[in-house]
Structure 1
């Protein structure tokens, strides 16, 4: 299995290069073993464990694919890589896809990726604060500084909605963009009042003594499909065999990951430097095969409400499989 290589691009690059139209799917040649080589953009977090596990178990090989992984800090950075043809397929939260579509990018979700467990007491993401913080609930986040991994995206949108529902002034929150691996140190140093953290870094933060405040994904939207695997409309139309093979393989991998949680945790050591003791304590996301359309629609409505995009320009019917 290949290790991750860094690749961050701004969304503006995608808008500039989209017209070029050169799909990476048309350029990839088969390897010496006859497998189709495919580059996939991912984030080095627990959400993508099923794709690594699927490759480890030979599921992608069975479908004729050999995966190359390229990493980014968040889905917003993966979108332009897919649009430009640098990667054929990407992993991204649903808001990043809607933002891209609202800006004229023909992005298509092809499979579920990761979902909330739906249980606020046991979900894979939490807003956390230092143990001695005076923040006791989500309403107390008004007027505070909060670290998230990508600005103007799914997390600040849901946080604003949660604070608003709690009666707080959502406009008074200051969001700071910090990659998930660096958030815990920023919180400990007092650079921010709270962080939105996900696994495996959530367990690491808890080991350092933070306190949970709010399960963002589980509390705001019921059974939230957080992220999907996606490609462009051009790749979908010009190389349907690739999309069909990848979709079948990732869905088998999601099922395998759901049925083998210990192996799902263990594969994290393939693409992160997380210690074994931490891996054993991780809370897994849910890995259903189906995208929860009502949940995605609700996230779209919130994106529209909080000014991220015009939902009519997104065209969810075209974006979702």
Structure 2
């Protein structure tokens, strides 16, 4: 009996020791991640980073990701420069404007790209049902909603008007956040609106109509936005930048191959109904940056007075681009 009790006691001691050892190893293998704040916009473009966070692509690299939605690329650029965010997502025009003004920024990865299909892109200029505006040329002299003034919305819409034979200098832009665009269009506060998904499908499923595919009119397979950081962050923590870039690339690749998961994740940060979720036109999420398309955006931005001087893509883009 004594031998039995001794054996039981020994087993209990071994089990407890094993459990403590196992727990110590688990704690060592999964340390708390480094807190990383990223500025984004609540539109379909950033679905990959939300999906990558949900799939653990950042956590497995030791990154505790926190995402904050802003109205547009401009505020995000300012947030990264000021140190509010370590990384940001911004359209290429905002980044070029900041770079041409001397801001110490560097793109780390592609963000989102046009599908290249007129009438089936995730970005469009839309009007309400019954509008007398039928083509981009009809936008001349009209009030057009964009999320941020003197930015990628302005210059790409102007290009659609030019392509249709209209006077691109006679356009009136009004800044309206993307989530409020559908209501502004219905209320007649603007004659037309530039939107991306999911606001595009919100308007189209309510009877709106597309009059121009502004990204497609601007450049073939346009790289629309990039993930970026500050030169200070690169100098201070190059490993973090490398890990974040790897996680973003994995997120882009995963999103491109899992469209239904993309549709589901959008609803977690941009309230949409099932009709919009099913109807959304998904953008492209290539890993590579289309430099040729950005050269066109730089030329147009300079022509439209958005840039004080032509941006240096060599300074802005990663060396591999």
| CA–CA separation in structure 1 for the residues paired with 2:40 and 2:92 | 14
* Counterpart for residue 244 of structure 1: 242
- Whether the 8 Å contact between 2:31 and 2:62 is mirrored in structure 1 is no
1:102 Cα deviation from its structure 2 partner? 1.6
* Counterpart for residue 129 of structure 2: 131
| CA–CA separation in structure 2 for the residues paired with 1:120 and 1:152 | 24
Please list, as runs of the form range in 1=range in 2, the aligned pairs for 1:69-218 lying within 5 A after superposition. Answer: 69-218=67-216
Deviation string, structure 1 residues 108-128 (Cα, Å, up to 9, x no partner): 111001110111131111111
1:222 matches 2:220: yes
* Counterpart for residue 293 of structure 2: 295
**Unmatched runs of 5 consecutive residues or more in structure 1:** 1-31
Deviation string, structure 1 residues 20-46 (Cα, Å, up to 9, x no partner): xxxxxxxxxxxx942111000000011
1:311 Cα deviation from its structure 2 partner? 4.0
How many pairs are equivalent? 289
- Whether the 8 Å contact between 1:118 and 1:223 is mirrored in structure 2 is yes
| CA–CA separation in structure 2 for the residues paired with 1:68 and 1:261 | 23
Q: Please, what is the CA RMSD of the aligned residues?
A: 1.2
| CA–CA separation in structure 1 for the residues paired with 2:270 and 2:141 | 34
* Counterpart for residue 280 of structure 1: 278
SS of residue matched to 2:298: helix
- Whether the 8 Å contact between 2:76 and 2:90 is mirrored in structure 1 is yes
| CA–CA separation in structure 1 for the residues paired with 2:316 and 2:77 | 13
| CA–CA separation in structure 1 for the residues paired with 2:87 and 2:103 | 14
1:316 matches 2:313: yes
Please list, as runs of the form range in 1=range in 2, the aligned pairs for 1:252-263 lying within 5 A after superposition. Answer: 252-263=250-261
| CA–CA separation in structure 1 for the residues paired with 2:208 and 2:123 | 13
- Could you say which structure has the larger radius of gyration? 2
| More moved, 251-260 vs 276-285 | 276-285
Q: Which runs of 4+ in 1 moved over 2 A?
A: 164-167
1:259 Cα deviation from its structure 2 partner? 0.3
| CA–CA separation in structure 2 for the residues paired with 1:131 and 1:219 | 23
SS of residue matched to 1:59: coil
**Unmatched runs of 5 consecutive residues or more in structure 2:** 1-29
Deviation string, structure 1 residues 230-258 (Cα, Å, up to 9, x no partner): 01111112211111000000000000000
| CA–CA separation in structure 2 for the residues paired with 1:299 and 1:164 | 14
| CA–CA separation in structure 2 for the residues paired with 1:169 and 1:278 | 34
1:164 Cα deviation from its structure 2 partner? 2.2
SS of residue matched to 2:180: helix
Deviation string, structure 1 residues 187-218 (Cα, Å, up to 9, x no partner): 11111110001111111101110111111112
